[in-house]
A and B are shown apart, each in its own frame.
Chain A
Amino acid sequence: MALAQHLPALQVILPLISAPLAILFRRAGPAFLIVTAAAWLSFAIAIALFLQVDASGLISYPMGNWQPPWGIEYRLDRLNSFMLVLVSGMAAIVLPYARGSIEREIPHESHYMFYAMLGLCLTGLLGIVITGDAFNLFVFLEVSSLSTYVLIAMGRDRRALTAAYQYLIMGSIGATFIVIGIGFLYLMTGTLNLADMVPRVAVIESSRPGLAALAFISVGVSLKVALFPLHQWLPNAYTYAPSSVSAFLAATATKVALYALIRFYFTVFGDNFVFGKLPLPEFMLILSLFAMLFANAIAIFQDNLKRLFAYSSVGQIGYITLGLSFDSVHGVGASIMHLFNHGVAKGAIFLLIGGAVARMTTRQAAPPAPTFERIAGLSKAMPLTCFGVVLGGLSLIGVPGTAGFVSKWYLVLAAMEKGQWWLVGAILVSSLLAVAYVWRFVEAAYFRAPPAGRETGKEAPFALLIPGWLLILATLWFGLDTSFTAGAALDAAQQLVHSGN
């Protein structure tokens, strides 16, 4: 019983402890076991917490028994208990995959570091989601960011280093902007507890420091979100990182940043202020449209599959921010759903592509870039991999029967509720752009002849195929049974939208 009360703390502490333990062992095997066990346990805890919130509402956990607002509070509502499931679930799936995939990507002697970094990254992401304290949020953001930079830099291509450096600069600027914003809020309200801040922010939000705080936080979080046009760091980072890292980041990192955006906009400042009194919805709407149309269009012309799907991520983030800008239950609900649905589908795609790349990699050379030339005719050799990517792509398009359709339905519904028919058109046109890039893959993989001299003839290793396909099956499952995703997301939106303030 006592343990059950401390689940919110264990959620973060388990992966946090796993990282130094992994370092202490200095060997790949034990490090893998420890971090994986921590990830699976934290997935189990996340599910338990989700059910607990589902049953009894809000959970507030005073860290170290220091009562809020003085101590750090972990605070769980519908939104972040849902996010915890996504983040820890992805880690639980990616880790077993990583064991197979980093074999060819990272020198064996630094494997234990990789696991430790992944553990830290997971810690940071879970911490951002669960904490109810603004400064604590910043610290966890940096924990996750610093470990992410390292993970990206572990890619074997030397461009991974520049990608990591670029992300480090952009990410640190973003994080510093956030901490400046939090500083302003702290100066004006005298508290760092987010819940405690709410009534006090209501008083000062229209003041100049209040607006400055909002502006700094908006820009800082948008950098981490990779909201168009602050997305430049993302394509390189996803392209050159090790496969498992690309998948994990695509599924969780930007999603957690979006969570932070939702938290600040809807809980701290209150949507009545942010979207009701400021010109922010128009601004966000335009940026989202640019993301949806431009980034998706750029994706069509990429030669490297990983980069293609990275740009597609930027486009899909546009859907999410578009839903937020509607500031309605269906719009915000669609965004929260899409966080999850897109995370699962995109994670699956990156895992499957990673499997294909692993099969094409020889031990001596760096992994080849998965260009369209190289994957030509791949369906003969790797039918399951290719079919999986196609199914994941269908979810990106939003074909009925996949998870992507569910979020698209609510997004279109929200646009109609606003009477914005042109937005309905824009959403649907952008999903047609997704058809174009997914079909580029189909035509390359199924229609073209394999390049001469590619030694294939074999499906991707099963250890890499199974995690990817698990996520693909999840995508199909959540396309038909929406009680978990849509249920939680709409509930969360109900809690967030026009909740007072």
Chain B
Amino acid sequence: MLAHFTNVITVFLMVAGLFIITARGNLIKKLVGLSLFQTSVYLLYITPGKLIGGTAPILSPAYTVYSNPLPHVLILTAIVVGVSTLALGLALTVRIREAYGSIEEDEILALDHSVEDDEARESH
């Protein structure tokens, strides 16, 4: 029952994240969506590895029930990757704000188009 429950959350986070990425034009919000999306993966990996009442894998006869450590370790790496992606994305957003004066996708696109029009006019 619990496994089922976590899967629902996983899928909800996944879809919510993807939705934010596509539906929002604000570059920061998109990154928030991306983070949510990546977070769902952490759940996907960790929940099946966790046993209720299980401990860390300690080699001792006292503990017989323990969680699988490997998914935890993997997700530690994935979290690092996620954080760096977010950091890089935010850094890019700062630079974009400096260059365009906006972090709204449609405004940036409009600025780009006007530049392209200028370029085209220049060349003709």
Contact = CB atoms under 8 A, between A and B. Distances in A.
Interface stretch (A158-166, A427-435, A476-484): A158-166
A168 B27 CA distance: 11
Given A373-B124, A374-B123, A172 B78 contact: no
Nearest to B105: A162
A153 interface: yes
A183 B49 CA distance: 11
Contacts of B85: 142, 146, 168, 172
Interface string B61-79: 0000000001100100110
10 contacts: A135-B74, A146-B84, A146-B88, A168-B89, A172-B34, A173-B34, A173-B37, A183-B45, A187-B48, A192-B70
Which one of B34, B44, B45, B88 has the greatest number of beta carbons of chain A within 10 Å? B88
Nearest to B123: A373
Interface in B80-105: 81, 84-85, 88-89, 92-93, 95-96, 99-100
Interface string B8-46: 000000100010010000010010001001100100110
Interface in A159-187: 159, 161-162, 164-165, 168-169, 172-173, 175-176, 179-180, 183, 186-187
Nearest to A159: B112
* A contact residues, range: 20 to 34
Interface string A359-379: 000000000010101100000
Interface string B103-122: 00000100010010001100
A374 B122 CA distance: 11
A22 B38 CA distance: 31
Contacts of B74: 135, 192
Main DSSP-derived SS at the A contact region: helix
B92 A149 contact: yes
A129 B115 CA distance: 40
A172 B38 contact: yes
A161 B95 contact: yes
The 6 A-B residue pairs with the shortest CB-CB distance, nearest first, are: A373-B123, A158-B99, A142-B81, A165-B92, A161-B96, A183-B44
Contacts of A158: 96, 99-100
B77 A139 contact: yes
Contact of A149 (B45, B77, B88, B112): B88
A161 B92 contact: yes
Contact of A371 (B92, B96, B123): B123
Contacts, number: 77
B34 A162 contact: no
B92 A173 contact: no
A179 B96 contact: no
A179 B89 contact: no
A68 B14 CA distance: 32
A150 interface: yes
A175 B119 CA distance: 35
A369 B118 CA distance: 12
A161 B27 contact: no
B28 to A, nearest CB: 11
Nearest to A149: B88
A80 B99 CA distance: 41
Nearest to A179: B41
A176 to B, nearest CB: 6
Nearest to A374: B123
Contact of B99 (A135, A161, A175): A161
Contacts of A165: 27, 89, 92-93, 96
Contacts of B27: 165
A162 B112 contact: yes
Interface string A140-162: 00100010011001000011011
A453 B2 CA distance: 73
Contacts of B92: 149, 153, 161, 164-165, 168
A176 B36 CA distance: 11
A489 B109 CA distance: 43
A303 interface: yes
Contacts of B81: 139, 142, 146, 175
Contacts of A176: 37-38, 41
A49 to B, nearest CB: 26
Contacts of A179: 41, 78
A131 B100 CA distance: 41
A175 B37 CA distance: 11
A286 B23 CA distance: 28
A175 B41 CA distance: 11
A150 B120 CA distance: 28
A183 B38 CA distance: 13
